[in-house]
Amino acid sequence: MKFIHMSDLHLGKHINQFSMLEDQKYIFNEIVEIIKKEKPNALLLSGDIYDKPIPPVEAVNLLDDFLSKIALEKIPVLIISGNHDSPDRLSFGSSLMKSSQIYISQVYDGNIQCVTLEDENGSVNFYLLPYIKPSTVRQVFPEEKINSFNDAVKLALSKLSLNKDERNVLLAHQFVTGAQTCESEELFVGGSENVDASLFDDFDYVALGHIHGPQKVGRESIRYCGTPLKYSFSEVNHKKGLCLVELTKKGDFNCTLIPLNPLHEMRKLKGTFQEIMFGPESKASNKDDYLHITLTDEMDVPEGYGRLSSVYKNLISMDYDNSRTRANQDMTLLDNIKTVKPLELFEEFFEKQNNKKMTEDQKNFMEKLIEEIWEAK
C-alpha cells in the first residue's frame, strides 16, 4: 500500500497583509502532478485544511478544485479536521463525497470512522480521528475521568477494535510529546496539550498533523509531514514536502520526503540599508520571495520599510539589529527578571522541563527551600 501524507494546508491564510492563496494554488498544481506520477493508493490530509473555522469562499473553491482533480485520478482521499477547522463545516456533504472516494471525519461522537482499502497484501485500515480536546470527549463519555489531552486520546483509541494481524493507520491532529515546534503553531500553554507517543503503539503508521515541521516522533512510523508551504519566518529552515509512505507486508515500512518547490520562498536578509537596497540582492531573480529584513544601521532609516518595499514587493516585515536595540533587549530582560519572584521563575522552569505544572506540595516545598536559602545569606 502506497499513500501520500499531507497536513496543515491552512487554505485562506494571510501572513500580515499578504494572501497566500496564489501560492497555495501553485503548490496544489505541483502536488497534483506528483500524484499523477507516483500513483498512490490514497491521499491522507491530517487536519487544518482551512486556516479559519469560517473559511473565505476562495479557500473553499480552491479545496473543491483540488479534490476534483484528485477524484479524476480515482484515488481515495481521507480527511480529518484540525484545531483550525470547523468539524461541522468540513464534514458537510461528506455522505455525498463518499461516492467519489472522498472520506471526511465526522464530528467526534465516540466513534472513529474506519476506511479499509485493499492491496495485494490484504487489508489496510485507516482510522480517522479528528482533533479532540478533553471537553470534546467528556461530552460523549461524561462518566469517565478525563483530565488531560492524553486521557482524551487514550480513551478515544480504547474504543477501537483493532485487528492487529492487519495493517492499521491512524490519522490524528494532536501534539505528541517530543515534537519540535515553531512560532506559527497554536498550542496550549505549558504542555497541557501533550499526548504520549506510546498511545499509538498498535498502529503501523500514524499520519499526524498540527506541527509545521516535518519530523518523526518516537519511532520512524509516527510522523508529522509538516505544512506544504512556509507560513512564518520560524519555518525558514524547514524542508517542505510530501511524505510518500509504503506499507508492504505487516511490519514493513518506508517513508520518503518528496520536496516541494514553492512559487515564492520565505527568507531572511540582514545588512545595512545601502547593502540591501542597492546590493546584489536587489537585482537577484528571487527578490520577490517573502522576506523579513533586518537592518544593521545604527540610526533608523526614514521610511525604510516603504523604500525597501519598492524593490522587494513581498517584504513582509522589517526590524533593526544594532547597539540600541540590543541594549533595549537587555534592559527589558533585566526588568522582567527584577519583577518576577524566585518561586515564579522556578515554576516556569519546572513547567518547561516537565511539560506539567507544579503541584501545591511541590510549590510549598520550594517556597520553604527558597526562604531557607535567603535567610542563610
Question: How confident is the model at residue 377, as a pLDDT?
Answer: 46
Q: What is the pLDDT of residues 194-207, one digit of tens each?
A: 899 999 999 999 99
The answer on 158 and 284 residing in a single domain is: no
In-domain check, residue 63 = yes
Q: How many of the other CB atoms lie within 10 Å of CB of 227? A: 28
248 CB contacts (<8 Å, ≥6 apart)? 1, 121, 254
pLDDT at position 331 is 58
Q: Are 160 and 180 in the same domain?
A: yes
Q: What's 25's DSSP letter?
A: H
* Residue 187 CA: distances (Å) to CA of 17, 61, 173: 23, 28, 12
262-301 pLDDT per residue, tens:
999 999 999 999 999 999 999 999 999 999 999 999 999 9
Q: Quick one: 304 and 213 in the same domain?
A: no
- Does 342 reside within a domain? no
* Residue 372 domain flag: no
103 lies in the same domain as 179: yes
Determine the Cα–Cα distance for residues 81 and 128; give it in Å rounded to an integer.
9
What distance in Å separates the CA atoms of residue 224 and residue 182, rounded to the nearest whole number?
A: 13
Whether residues 217 and 273 share a domain: the answer is: no
Placement of cell 472516494 in the chain: 101
β-pairing, 42-46 vs 77-80, is: parallel
User: Are 156 and 207 found together in one domain?
Assistant: yes
Determine, yes or no, domain membership for 276: yes
How many secondary structure helices (H) and strands (E) does the chain include?
A: 11, 19
Whether 86 is covered by a domain: the verdict is yes
284: closest CA among 267, 296, 301?
Answer: 267
Cα 240 from Cα 373, distance rounded (Å)? 50
Residue 358 has what pLDDT?
A: 83
Indicate which CATH number applies to the domain containing 197.
Answer: 3.60.21.10
Q: 142 and 288: one domain?
A: no
CA distances to 67, 68, 222 from 72, rounded to whole Å, are: 9, 6, 30
In the β-sheet with 315-320, what is the strand arrangement from edge to edge? Answer: 266-271, 290-295, 315-320
> Cα separation of 239 and 258, whole Å?
10
Block mean pLDDT (10 aa), the chain, length 377: 96 94 97 97 96 94 95 95 88 77 92 95 96 93 92 95 95 91 64 86 96 91 96 93 95 94 96 95 94 94 95 95 78 54 75 71 81 60
- DSSP SS3 for 135: helix
Q: What phi and psi values does residue 43 have, to the nearest 5 degrees?
A: -120, 125
Cβ neighbours for 259, distance < 8 A, ≥ 6 positions apart: 239, 240, 241
pLDDT computed for residue 193 by the predictor: 81
194 neighbors 151 (Cβ within 8 angstroms): no
Angle between helices 360-376 and 342-354 (to 10 degrees): 130
Indicate the residue among 277, 301, 324 that finishes a domain: 324
- 311 and 220 within one domain: no
φ and ψ of 143, to 5 deg: -80, -15
Residues 208 and 320 in one domain: no
The parent domain of residue 137 ranges over: 2-259
Which position has the grid cell 491564510? 13
Nearest to 126 by CA among 40, 53, 226: 40
Q: Are residues 128 and 23 in the same domain?
A: yes
Q: How far apart are CA 268 and CA 367, in angstroms?
A: 44
270 and 253 within one domain = no
Confidence at residue 340, expressed as pLDDT on a 0 to 100 scale: 59
User: Is residue 136 one of the residues assigned to a domain?
Assistant: yes
Tell me, yes or no, whether 329 lies in a domain: no
Q: End of a domain among 212, 239, 259?
A: 259
How far is Cα of residue 311 from the mean position of the Cα atoms in its chain?
32
Cα(81)–Cα(205) distance, integer angstroms: 19
Inside any domain, residue 368: no
pLDDT in tens, 117-173: 999 999 999 999 999 999 999 999 999 999 999 999 999 999 999 999 999 999 999
**Is there a single domain that holds both residue 311 and residue 204?**
no
Structurally, the chain folds into a number of domains equal to 2
Last-in-domain residue among 259, 287, 308? 259
